[in-house]
Amino acid sequence: ENNDVTPQPLHQAGLGAEQANRFLVEELSAGSASDQTTFTGNFGKQFSFFVELLLPDEKWKKDLVKEQVTQALLKVMKDIFITETDTISLLEIAPAILLRTSPCFVYRERNKQYEEVCRKRISNEKYVDRAMQTLNEASKNKQIQNNLMLMVDAGLHVLFIVKKMKPNNYAETFVESSRSAERMCCFSQTFSLSVISSCSLKDVDAVRTGLNTQSDLELIRLSEKFQYSLLLMERSVLRNSFQCQLASYRQLPLVKPKEVEEGEGRTETSCSPALECLWRFSCELSIGCSVSCMAWNQKNPDLLAVGYGESDSRNQEPGLVCCWSIKNPRWPERIIHCDSAVTTLDFSANSPGQLAVGMCDGSIAVYNVQIHCFPILHIGPVWQLRWNKQELSFTGEEKVEALFSVGADGRICKWFIINGGLDCTDLMKLKRSNNTQRKTGQKPEKMAECGLSALTPGLCFDFHPIDSNIYLTGTWEGNIHKCSCSNSHQFLETYKKHFCPVNWITWCPFHPDVFLSCSSDSTIQLWKQDCPRPLLSFSSNHGEVCEVKWSPRQATVFGAVYNGHLEVWDLNSSFLDPVIVQPAAPGLKMTSFLFASLTDCVLVGDSYGQVTVYQMQNLRVGECRQVQHTNISDKCLNIWGLKGEVRSKLEFKLLKVLYFL
């Protein structure tokens, strides 16, 4: 009956110590065995119990201490530090990076095994599927506050090229697009990677063309520099194939290609002088037009201007001027279309970009070739007749350059640039010498109507290399007149020998008194300035001589071009025969030629529109730059003796004296 199940209080205030002690021990032992989970909850009580038992009189103190602590806590500000513990790594498996080519059989095997296991897992009894559940404890919300940090999004730029070969061999390429910089108030450093994942090449193409249109606009914007790059590219591509020829043009040692060394045996090492063809300047535009004149640029020795046009054809075809560069034999640097056939051209020495072009219909145009060729000045036909030739000359005193021209109307004019146009003053009128019309004198007004009555057409002229006041001019009648810029009424001297139109006159660049003239009577005459008779004459039966020019490098070498062939003479080696004779290709007529100023090359223009560059080989290089007078005089004497020409003693002595100068 005394089933009193009310739990005994643990703390009995009135009991004695011993009883309490026994009681406590029992309780403790009982408590410790059973309920361990609530240990923490009762800890406080038991602790106080302990304290109470052992030191019953300290109970008061404890209470007091507790109270004191709480009061102190309220007053004192205490800092509480919250720190993070170090990161504890629970599991770390480092990745293994392997090259595709490295031996990785071990790993492959392991992968295979693993795959096997995975496959067999379903039916295998070793592996059991079991579900797990994690305890989700109640979450607590905590509010924090801090200053706002401004973020800026900076996109990065990564080019991924990942190629995955699918079974049907399509390649996927991941190309990332342009960057973007936006202000976003969120996490920074986003990769703006737009993945163009396409499974077919067509899609890639579509995307690319989309990009293309945008970048094409870029192209237009960058066009100038781009053009320059293209130009560089073209030149270097060409240089690769023309390397041999360019090297021999510039007289550099040749690098022989490997195959050629074994194959060809160069048996012919001929000692006789010959012309070796290096390359041809020709393009589609120029094919078919006949080359009429060529000129080197004074400043840039690699630049050549070529004028095309048939000067004696009835149908007035438009002419063409092409500026070629040695570095590009396939396409001219500049192309100028002219209204009528071009008969002559010349580069200015003072302003090397200016090219003066004279045309068949009597007009002159001056082009600036540096800025894509538009004519600075163009005049309407000044003369009503056909032939024109101009040269830019350099009057030494004032270093002023003026344009001179000689025309079919017999006037030699000097041109000035005034107010955007050209104005001319007459330097000389070429009067007919063997005419009764001499009495009439000069009638400037009549010139426009009947051009040929009092004056004879001038075909060529050349200024003295040293004294630029003096010039020579050759006429249709065959006379050569020496004139001066200061005297416009009289000729200083007249040289008569040719009986056909004089086609070309040129002073010798090394000897100041010697000049050459050639004419349609198929002769070339060598004259000395003060001597009314030619010193030497080179005749042939090959037809009219179109042009004759001195070589700029060797004093005794000159060349002459006939319609059918080119001749190079060397006065040092032979008087009677040319040293080199180069026949024209069948069906072509050679129309013009030019010596290269820095190398041993000759350029020949023909009626098909090609300019061929030849290199002169085995031409004995002149030991000295001066005409070897003594040798020539001896040879002259011999030849005259052989030919039996009658020469007056006076002339003979004069010549001897002159030659021994």
Partner 1 sequence: MSEVEEIMKRILSHKGVEGVIIANTEGIILRSTLEDQSTVHHVALVQPLLMKAKKIVQDMDPEDELTYVRLRTEKNEEIIAADKDYFMISIQTPSL
Applying CB under 8 A, does 377 fall inside the site for partner 1? Answer: no
Report the run of H or E that residue 260 belongs to, with start and end.
helix 258-263
Kindly tell me the burial class for residue 322, based on how many C-beta atoms sit within 10 Å of its own C-beta (0-12, 13-18, 19 or more).
buried
Nearer to partner 1, 182 or 216 (CB): 216
Cα angle: 191, vertex 197, 203; to 5 degrees: 130
Applying CB under 8 A, does 116 fall inside the site for partner 1? Answer: no
Nearer to partner 1, 155 or 273 (CB): 155
Applying CB under 8 A, does 230 fall inside the site for partner 1? Answer: yes
Residue of 46, 48, 243, 469 that binds partner 1 (CB under 8 A): 243
Applying CB under 8 A, does 66 fall inside the site for partner 1? Answer: no
Residue of 193, 196, 211, 531 that binds partner 1 (CB under 8 A): 211
Residue of 21, 71, 194, 241 that binds partner 1 (CB under 8 A): 241
Q: Rg of the chain over CA atoms, in angstroms?
A: 53
Distances from the Cα of 37 to the Cα of 32, 223, 322, 471, 518, angstroms: 10, 85, 107, 130, 132
Applying CB under 8 A, does 225 fall inside the site for partner 1? Answer: yes
Contact call for residues 628 and 572 (beta carbons, < 8 A) = yes
Nearer to partner 1, 150 or 220 (CB): 220
Range in contact with partner 1 (rule: CB under 8 A) among 199-207, 356-364, 401-409, 649-657: 199-207
Applying CB under 8 A, does 244 fall inside the site for partner 1? Answer: yes
Strands 421-429 and 611-617: unpaired
- Residue 306: closest CA among 369, 231, 249: 369
Applying CB under 8 A, does 337 fall inside the site for partner 1? Answer: no
Nearer to partner 1, 29 or 223 (CB): 223
User: Under 8 Å CB-to-CB from 139, ≥6 apart: which residues?
Assistant: none
Which two structure tokens, joined as six digits, stand for 398?
Answer: 């004032």
Nearer to partner 1, 171 or 377 (CB): 171
Contact call for residues 405 and 379 (beta carbons, < 8 A) = no
Nearer to partner 1, 335 or 385 (CB): 335
Residue of 12, 29, 229, 487 that binds partner 1 (CB under 8 A): 229
Applying CB under 8 A, does 220 fall inside the site for partner 1? Answer: yes
| 453 Ramachandran zone, left/alpha/beta (phi>0; psi -120 to 50) | alpha
User: Under 8 Å CB-to-CB from 626, ≥6 apart: which residues?
Assistant: 510, 511, 555
Q: What is the phi/psi pair of residue 478, to 5°?
A: 110, 5
132-161 footprint of partner 1 as x/- string (CB under 8 A): -------------------------x-x-x
Site residues (CB under 8 A) for partner 1, limited to 305-334: 330-331
Range in contact with partner 1 (rule: CB under 8 A) among 230-238, 300-308, 515-523, 635-643: 230-238
Range in contact with partner 1 (rule: CB under 8 A) among 9-17, 85-93, 170-178, 643-651: 170-178
Residue of 180, 227, 494, 574 that binds partner 1 (CB under 8 A): 227
Using a CB cutoff of 8 Å and minimum separation of 24, what contacts does 485-493 make? 485/395, 485/414, 485/427, 488/426, 488/427, 488/428, 488/429, 489/442, 491/428, 493/530, 493/532
Contact call for residues 586 and 570 (beta carbons, < 8 A) = no
Residues that bind partner 1 (CB under 8 A): 157, 159, 161, 171, 173, 175, 178, 201, 204-205, 208, 211-212, 215-216, 218-220, 222-223, 225-227, 229-234, 236-238, 240-241, 243-244, 255, 257, 330-331
